[in-house]
Amino acid sequence: MLFLHLTDLHLAHPDLNDPHIHANTAANLQKMVARIRAMPVPPDFVVLSGDLTNQGDVASYELLRDTLAPLAMPLLFTLGNHDDRHAFHQVFPDVCPDAAPDAPVCHVSRHAGLQVVTLDSLIPGQTSGGLCEDQFDFLQTTLANNPDQPTLLVMHHPPHMPGQAAYRWESMPPADSVRLAEILDGHNIVGMLCGHVHHNKTVQWHGVPVIFNNGLHNLIDVTVADALAIKDVTGYGLCQWHDYGLSVTFLTLTPEQPVTKTLARTIVEKFK
């Protein structure tokens, strides 16, 4: 099974003239949609792990909806710290049809034996994230109902992992992270897809692979220690689920990478 991980779209409607956007995020998303539609094998679904918009406004969510409209596969959403629940539910009422206007965007879906659980780590007014009591209960009940099923988690903010973050706002608080680890213990969690930090990284956390990609806005260079160094690089994750586990390939969307040479498959297959 093939699926994609997109994150940190930071989509801003052009009418906003948003001064906090460091790239043409609308063009980046259009390019991403075109790339998906050109894939010889279309993905079974697409994960969008938060910061869907930059200001959480209705116009930007409408632009998101319209830009994604050509995609026929299921789209699995959750929200990040730049999002707004009221505006999202207004524009995407079918994602959580029974949810209150201010309810977290969390849900479960199943794809060829893989259970995908999205959790909404948005805390309004904060850059950091966390999970509410209802979401912990939702996760615990979902895992208890299918105790042996392989499960993929999707959240915008990663759990707190000592030594991994330069700033405290990069993750959920320690208490939420400890509780999350306790709930996941003993279950078949194949991985956790996150965003928020704008760089590619994998971390083994209590036996769970936590996987980030830099997203569709920009890249933060973690080798620069005394500042937040922002680069005009965007990307996404090409994910495959096999019986033996999850694989993720990090790919660049922009800037375009030229092909310097092409070797035919018939040639490559002869390598010893």
**CA 70, CA 68: separation in Å to the nearest integer?**
6
Q: What is the gyration radius of the CA atoms in the chain, in angstroms?
A: 18
The pLDDT, as a whole number, for residue 75 is 98
Tens digit of each residue's pLDDT (9 = 90 or more) over 24-51: 999 999 999 999 999 999 999 999 999 9
The pLDDT, as a whole number, for residue 1 is 93
Q: Which burial class, exposed, middle or buried, applies to 82 when counting CB atoms under 10 A from its CB (0-12, 13-18, 19+)? A: buried
Mean of all residue pLDDT scores within the chain = 94
**Which value, to the nearest 10 degrees, does the dihedral of the CA atoms of residues 117, 156, 85, 5 take?**
-70
Residues of the chain with pLDDT under 50: none
132: left (phi over 0), alpha (psi -120 to 50) or beta: beta
CA–chain centroid gap for 179, Å, is 21
Tens digit of each residue's pLDDT (9 = 90 or more) over 159-194: 999 877 767 888 899 999 999 999 999 999 999 999
The pLDDT, as a whole number, for residue 167 is 76
Taken in order of first residue, the domains within the chain and their CATH numbers are: 2-268 (3.60.21.10)
68: left (phi over 0), alpha (psi -120 to 50) or beta: alpha
The pLDDT, as a whole number, for residue 158 is 95
The pLDDT, as a whole number, for residue 166 is 66
- In 3-state terms, what secondary structure has residue 114? strand
Nearest to residue 61, comparing CAs of 12, 125, 98? 12
pTM of the full structure: 0.95
